[in-house]
Chain A
Amino acid sequence: MGSMETVLDVRDVTKVYEGFTLRDVSFSLPPGYIMGLIGHNGAGKTTLLSLILGLVRLDAGEIRVFGLDHRREEVAVRSRIGFVHEVPTFFSSLSVARAGAVVAPFYPTWDEAGFRELAREFGLDPGKKLGSLSQGMRTRFALAVALSHRAELLLLDEPSSGLDPAFRRDLLERLSGVIEGGKTSVLFSTHITSDLDRIADFVTFLRRGRLMFSTTREDVLERWFLVKGGSELLSGDVRPLFAGVVSGEYGFTGLTENLPELRARVAEEAMVVERATLEDVVFYTGRTGEEGMTLHDRSS
């Protein structure tokens, strides 16, 4: 996918911290789609979003947003981005209305009536201080701000954590609504895989700073299978076909993307095969060591 056809183009991005490295991450997001960024805590999701926003500096690689270099054209890029940080970044002593008024002048496309309407829909009292809001309500506020300047790319860092199930579902539906016009794209990080099942078109999976895959949700669900069988099947050349295995007293359950090869080596009646869910993929790949972990990047 060329950069003109993508809203976000991340190429070979590397960021080195003491004790953690985000290494050679590449993916792209076309306009009008939702991409879920998944991974365990400390996988590098927040680092990646911070890199895109320019809050931290790249050590290597390139990030282009709307075809523009995210650092050299930082003002033009950020004027078209809406964001929700994982940690609240507004002064707690400000009221909802006042905090909205603080950021409004930065965006020429700010829709004040839209902001008031969203605040009302989200149950935000304009006079209420941000410090007195629950985490979920503060996320609602940040989302109302992000949606009120008609951002073309929403970067949301764990927007659904701390939200009650009803609002979480509402948030996900709203995000689906946002992309309907085809102009807005969403990249959101989460560790709740059921959120991705509901709305994500693309899934990017990070593990310990490495990109495991970035592909469509359908591709993930079609590629990966859960296989159950007796422990004796895991001997010899069969074990390497699994990306992750959990063994128990009565056998094993393993995740594989090599089903045809597995079928060639193991009799069909000796195993039970099921389609894996996103949660299975995250869970089983998270259990294996570093060796042989890098899965195929199918984003390009």
Chain B
Amino acid sequence: MFKVMMKDLIMNRTALVANAFIMAAFLVFMASWEEGASLGTFAFFSGLMMAFVPAMIVTREDKFKAMALGCSLPVSRKTIVRSRYLLAVGLAVVGILFALSLAALAPTSQLMAAELFRMETVLRALSVTIILIALLLPFTLRFGALGLILVLGSFQVLGILALTMVKFTRSSADKRLVDSIIESVESLYARFGPIGFDLLLVLFLAAVLVASYAVSVWVFRRREL
């Protein structure tokens, strides 16, 4: 499994370094933005950006037709998927810590270093990344770059449909949905306390990843190259 991870890291080394520079510039800009810098927004966007790194590895493989190489080597498809998930989570953790460190160290940053490294901030960013990875990887592993476009395109269409529906029906269903999610999260927080809630969140993220992994193994075994 580590051989596959090393292969992916070596084959994508230049792209990963180039992306790290671009992301760093954007993150420093976000942390330094006087009117817009907030801990929540920063954590959300850090997590969002890190989620696309594993998808990038798979879509680059698709672009270079290198999937056929990986699947011709003496390694099972299940192992390939497992290594992708491990690499994705590893890169997410490293990337989020990198993002938070940048925000803490940038001289122009508007964010407080002490707040940045609170468990709540790290978990918030990690939640965004893991949920997106869990959603993106089955599609990218099955369809390559097209899978990424499918997911993003579906989100766009769903968003447009939802907003159109809300506008024409003059309904406040969207607000009610968001409010009910926030209320549920707050009630869970009140019930289990900060440590219990964090633990619950970690368990939830693990379950999401395991479910996504199972789907990915199933679809990737059926992928024809």
Contact = CB atoms under 8 A, between A and B. Distances in A.
B69 A85 contact: yes
Closest 4 CB pairs of A and B: A79-B74, A89-B69, A78-B74, A55-B225
A1 interface: no
B6 to A, nearest CB: 7
Interface residues of A, number: 30
A55 B65 contact: no
A87 B7 CA distance: 19
A75 B225 contact: no
Given A93-B14, A98-B10, A55 B72 contact: yes
Contacts of A91: 11-12, 60, 64, 66
A195 to B, nearest CB: 22
A89 B66 CA distance: 4
Interface residues of B, number: 23
Contact of B72 (A83, A94, A98): A83
Nearest to B6: A105
A101 B222 contact: no
A54 interface: yes
Contacts, number: 68
B64 A92 contact: yes
A77 B72 CA distance: 10
A113 interface: no
Nearest to A105: B3
Interface of A: 50, 53-57, 74-79, 81, 83, 85, 87-94, 98, 101-103, 105-107
Contacts of A78: 72-75
A50 B225 contact: yes
29 contacts: A50-B225, A55-B68, A55-B72, A55-B224, A57-B224, A74-B76, A75-B74, A75-B75, A78-B72, A78-B73, A78-B74, A81-B72, A85-B68, A85-B69, A87-B65, A87-B68, A89-B65, A89-B68, A89-B69, A90-B64, A90-B66, A91-B64, A92-B64, A93-B14, A94-B11, A98-B10, A102-B11, A103-B69, A103-B73
Contact of A75 (B7, B65, B69, B76): B76
A88 B11 contact: no
